[in-house]
Amino acid sequence: MLNAREIENAIVEEIRLLLTGTDLAGVEIGSDCHLTRTLHLDSLMMASLLIALEGRFGRDPFLEDLSIADVASVGDLVRAYQPVAAAPALA
């Protein structure tokens, strides 16, 4: 089971990969960073991020009650993935 800090580190790592080669490549990324306003992630980048996180954590938290529209910041993503990271991966 991953704790919130480990989940945040994994999310930040994936975001850094997405930002490689952009003007924001070296920006400080924290839980309060807004995904679109601060980090300028567009819809394609968000889709890539969610695919990478599903591969990393083995589950998608947005298949059930949670909507991606409820996620605005890195911290929101951490909270979304906490129950997923604690659950066993689906086969």
**Phi then psi dihedrals of residue 34, to 5 deg:** -75, 135
Domains along the chain? 4-21+32-86 (1.10.1200.10)
Show pLDDT as tens, one digit a residue, over the chain (91 residues). 789 999 999 999 999 999 999 999 989 999 999 999 999 999 999 999 999 999 999 989 998 878 999 999 999 999 999 988 776 655 5
pTM of the model: 0.89
Q: Are 34 and 73 in contact (CB under 8 A)?
A: yes
